A and B are shown apart, each in its own frame.
Chain A
Amino acid sequence: MVIFDKPHALADVPLHYCPGCTHGIIHRLVAEVIDELGIEGKTVGIAPVGCSVMAYNYFNCDMIEAAHGRAPAVATGVKRALPENIVFTYQGDGDLASIGMAETVHSAARNENITVIFINNAIYGMTGGQMAPTSLPGQITQTSPYGRDVNHCGYPIKICEMLSTLDGPEYVARVAVNNVKNVRAAKKAIKKAFENQVNGLGFSLVEVISSCPTNWGLTPEKALEWVESKMIPYYPLGVYKDRHADSNE
């Protein structure tokens, strides 16, 4: 009897992510949801530029690799062309909250019927650990070697809080994958974000607080503790906007 199997939507290839990185968990959650909703055959995923740039190799659905930050615009094009298909983007914090901020905000404002999976690990991973728009005050990175000085380079951007001020988006939630309980909650939020699209409700974004042991300079275990003690207090988990909260319960 098989009690634990790879989701069909997740390709059977080795992932390139660092040991302890939580991209693998989130990939699996997305793939499980695609399987459970039976939508793999009509799903088109958009990969970002960043650590998950090669996500196009990891999902079995059709995939597009977008320019840095432009995934929501590419997704807009795909969804407008193929409104019956399911379109999701998978983006990191530099991609979504820095260079692609305009695309993020405007696709949310248009309530574009897409699903956005936003990985916030407070650092640029692929380029070797530079300060991200979500790096915490005081956080040491390659480009903030003395700690992020908010007087010099400003404050972190809280995407969920910001997007929830817009009339446009359907669903905005923040989750984490640092323990089993949070992983379960994350799966639920991701599933809802896809279901919303299936039901034609519109723009749904799930911010997943993630870890980067390599660039944080921590062991995988310590990195998860850092998520709990530093990240989650600054980025509180929860549902920030859910236009159909009542009708869904």
Chain B
Amino acid sequence: MADKVLMKGNEAIAEAAIIAGCRHYFGYPITPQTEIAAYMAKRMPKIGGTFLQAESEIAAINMVYGVASTGLRVMTSSSSPGISLKSEGLSYLAGADLPSFIVNVQRGGPGLGGIQPSQSDYFQATKAGGHGDFRMIVLAPASVQEMAELTVHGFDLADKYRMTSMILADGTMGQMMEPVSLDFKIAEPVEKPWATTGTQMKREHNIVNSLFLSPDVLERTNFERFKKYDTVCENEVMYEEYMMDDAEICIAAFGIAARVSKNAIVEARKRGIKVGMIRPITLWPFPEKQFAAAAEKVRAFISVELSMGQMIEDIRLAVNGKAPVTLCNRVGGMIPSPDEVLDAIIKVSEGGNN
């Protein structure tokens, strides 16, 4: 472990982004992710990069749109209320097929909500990032190491598919420190012949645009984009299975909820309850095949969430009625304790014996 350093999750994201070749960061202060901006403000000037504090989240995402148009790697980060402001830009980025990398270190909502950890932007990230038909790749780290790794991966995926990838973390992941290894393999740079870098009078002009006034053209554009999304679903699903081999109960959880659930699973196993976990690492594309397969083996699912029950809808769709799916949740910045999750497991376990 000699090569490991202790870092906050937010700092790990920032350093990993720099390692991934990101030299442009735009953001607006909001708790609990300001360490990312602070880190970038310190580092970028020293490596010839740009850190700019924008006048708003809206301006920041549009600065991202500008840099993305030139084909360079660029990012912004924010927390829940700020992501709402960015949703206009996220839609335009999707409509113009631009690669970009966005971080949401979630806090409790709705409205101004609170500043403590939450996962209640799941719907927003996976289903409704903005107006129009589009998707974003949504990555859910559950450790500081993954905050860093998924950042590098997120940049690679964004370039590969010309779309936005988003880290959906929470205040705990952002604020906690864990050992991190920053030894990454960076993918080969992707050619971007579409970028607006100036014609040099050597080619036709490039246009970055999301306006298609002819319905047939717009329809075709959408169909083609969704073919690309199908490829993403086929190739890019990531998940972790934990003690699922003999599991009779399957917990579904991501991020901090998965960390808490692991403790509960260990305790439940001590009591002879066969429980395991599927932890989605990509929330979109969602590991639906894995949940469908699990539904053939287990007799119940428990979705552990820091929301009023958002991911549970995707689990139910994947399970398709083959097993009951119940919710174990805390919201508003509260985090379920391992005991609360254990209670939920025991309840489901006993319910099954009746």
- Residues of A participating in the B interface, judged by any CB pair closer than 8 Å: 11, 40-44, 46, 53-54, 56-57, 59-67, 70, 73-82, 85, 102-103, 105-106
How far is it, in angstroms, between the C-alpha of A63 and the C-alpha of B205 when the chains are bound? 7
The answer on a CB contact under 8 Å between B66 and A76 is: yes
- A63: which B residues are within 8 A, CB to CB? 196, 205-209
How far is it, in angstroms, between the C-alpha of A190 and the C-alpha of B309 when the chains are bound? 56
From residue 51 to 86 of chain B, which have CB atoms closer than 8 A to chain A?
52, 54-56, 58-60, 62-70, 72, 74
Shortest CB distance A38–B (Å): 9
The answer on a CB contact under 8 Å between B59 and A40 is: no
Shortest CB distance A106–B (Å): 4
Cβ-based interface call for B320 (8 A): no
- A62: which B residues are within 8 A, CB to CB? 196-199, 205-207
Shortest CB distance A109–B (Å): 8
Shortest CB distance A76–B (Å): 5
Interface 9-mer from B88-96, B117-125, B269-277: B88-96
Shortest CB distance B56–A (Å): 6
Q: Which of B24, B62, B199, B209 contacts A40 (CB 8 A)?
A: B199
- B70: which A residues are within 8 A, CB to CB? 44, 77-78, 81-82
The answer on a CB contact under 8 Å between B58 and A73 is: yes
How far is it, in angstroms, between the C-alpha of A6 and the C-alpha of B50 when the chains are bound? 38
- Residues of B participating in the A interface, judged by any CB pair closer than 8 Å: 24, 26, 50, 52, 54-56, 58-60, 62-70, 72, 74, 88-89, 92, 96, 196-202, 205-211
Closest 8 CB pairs of A and B: A77-B66, A73-B62, A62-B196, A106-B55, A77-B63, A70-B62, A74-B66, A41-B201
How far is it, in angstroms, between the C-alpha of A42 and the C-alpha of B210 when the chains are bound? 23
Extra pairs beyond A73-B60, A77-B69 (4, CB < 8 Å): A66-B65, A70-B65, A73-B54, A77-B74
Shortest CB distance A79–B (Å): 8
The answer on a CB contact under 8 Å between B59 and A53 is: no
How far is it, in angstroms, between the C-alpha of A11 and the C-alpha of B69 when the chains are bound? 21
How far is it, in angstroms, between the C-alpha of A53 and the C-alpha of B92 when the chains are bound? 14
The answer on a CB contact under 8 Å between A103 and B55 is: yes
Q: Which of B64, B197, B199, B202 contacts A77 (CB 8 A)?
A: B64
